[in-house]
Copies of this chain bind each other. A is one copy, B any other.
Amino acid sequence: MDKVNIAHKLSRFSDHWNPRIVGELNGQHVKLVKLKGEFIWHSHDDEDELFYVLKGELRMEFRDRAVTLRENEFLIVPHGVEHRPVAADEVSLMLFEPKTTLNTGNQASDRTRTHLESI
C-alpha cells in the first residue's frame, strides 16, 4: 500500500512498446508504457482498454477514423474494436485494463509481450 509516483516510475525505463505493471486492483492492472512509431492492428476479444496520455501525443487509429490524444486526455477502446496506436514522437501512457490483457490482443506477433515486469 505504497503510493506510486508516475514521474519516478517513468524514469525507470526507456524502451518502447514494453508495458510495466505499476498497480493491481479488482482484477485489473495499471501499467505504464512508452510508445514511438506504429503498432500493429489488433483487438481484444474480452478486454476494454483505457489509454491515458501522461506526456506527448498519441494517435489512435480505428478502421474508419482516428483520435488524437494529448496530455491529460484518455480514451476507452471497447473490446472487439480494431485499433492501432501510432506515436510520431515518444508518448508516455498509463493503461488501465484487465490482468488478462495482451498488448497485441488477438494478433500473436513478435511484438507480443507475455511477461510484463512490475516496477
| Cβ < 8 Å to B, chain A residues 64-93 | 67, 69, 72-78, 81
Q: A48 is contacted by which of B25, B48, B97 (Cβ under 8 Å)?
A: B25
A97-B6 in contact (CB<8A): no
Asked if A109 lies at the interface with its beta carbon under 8 angstroms from chain B, I say no
Q: How many residues of A contact B (CB 8 A)?
A: 32
Number of copies of this kind of chain in the complex: 2
Asked if A3 lies at the interface with its beta carbon under 8 angstroms from chain B, I say yes
- Dominant SS among interface residues on chain A: strand
* Bound CA–CA A117/B1 (angstroms): 30
A75-B28 in contact (CB<8A): no
Chain A residues with a Cβ under 8 A of chain B: 1-7, 23-26, 28, 30, 47-50, 54, 62, 67, 69, 72-78, 81, 96-98
- In the assembled complex, 28 residue pairs joining A and B whose CB atoms fall closer than 8 Å, in A order, are A1-B67, A1-B75, A1-B76, A1-B78, A2-B67, A2-B75, A3-B67, A3-B69, A3-B73, A3-B74, A4-B75, A6-B72, A6-B73, A6-B74, A7-B72, A23-B50, A24-B76, A25-B48, A25-B50, A25-B96, A26-B28, A26-B97, A26-B98, A30-B74, A30-B76, A30-B96, A54-B72, A96-B96
